[in-house]
Chains A and B, each alone.
Chain A
């Protein structure tokens, strides 16, 4: 039985894809939204740390599963190993309806003006592909606003003096600080810094028909038991489905974008929940599978015109894989500073995102999400014994007396940090798998050291009697903050899509996720991915003439 032709196929029901599907469906386009995972709720994992998004040695409750998925990792010495989704080297994001927006920490950052102009701000960096975006902050500003109001953000629009100009306040008031956050707020004020309550995609008051957050400790890495965390799964995707124009197909693994001889996309080949091969044709194909899987899908879609993969005639697909090195410091305090008010992270400064003497870029610094007991076993000063009574004593006496200040350092992209297709290894369906290779740019540890020094200064001023740094290294970063593998640009020779996310040379094929990001900011990228979803969706709708695209 063949599937009925539709106007649009969207692959990936995450931050970008959920939004595009809703924009298209509400505008009247018949849309099929593909998701390789399923719906996940709190009841599927409870507060089980061993299957959470943050630590998942047994499995990741948010997918994908170890049985059917694998990737190949090229190690530093050139050897390769097969990695499973539950293992760190896989660089997993998530595979469920809403994707990372179900389990994320939900920080709602707008990038800053300079984040879109990294090359003109800092100049060429040797060995990097640092570049300006083809769009600027003001092109995305209305989309940020739309994301903040449609998905829902709590924050104080006046609190961060470094935030780029904005037209509207946040729809919900800012969250209060927990005990640790209040301590760091006072500390930062003493240091002449500009602390503020982190803007969050989480209800501080009832919003969107869902209740307010009740401050769980197990928030990041888990679905919200009361649905107070705002993702695409409980906002735009239900809206899309209600429009009557969108069909969500879960447990469907898309294998290939079908291309025709005129260089256009015809639809997708996929495997349904019973592993049956199927075809879904469409007028428009939008890929939003996150940077790693989006690149894989493009690279696995070949024909005579695109022998190396869709949009890859200039070898830019899968390149410039970025995420973030997390860097900062930890401090021990004599008194208990933990008051069990989740999710933990509530305090931030943006003083060091740019304009740091001699440093390229920078990043936000925040206090940490609650480090749950198992993850806490890895939180130790350098050289500390990891087992025995020393281990136990640290667990029970330090858990409530520790603060972490850290943040994502803006990564300097490089061409060799990449996603390619492994020539041998295939997944459960026989689809060639991802091969991850390369590392972060050599500049990253320098910038991370700068950020960690700043973080430690703050902890010392706060009264930590002992502190130590965790400095980001050069390990390839393609996890939850993955981006950059289908960069937008003005020139086909040095990018994959134009400034609207439209793949060069394939005018009905779009990308709508973090893959488009030329650079990844010094912030958690979720809100920017959402803004890109609105931006690309708006362009498609405006250029849709009712029966044809352009």
Chain B
């Protein structure tokens, strides 16, 4: 079982502190985790939409530069 899963189980109270060393480590991490805020400072919607306009490329004739 991965540490992340143990961490999750610990926070949900499904794993007790009498488990092995890895679980105790997860418990210690969980106790720190509970103090952290999730913080967000920007949310943007990017909508992939139709232009509704057919842009006609300007076709020009030239040979070379």
Whether chains A and B associate is no
Residues on B lying within 8 angstroms of A by beta carbon are: none
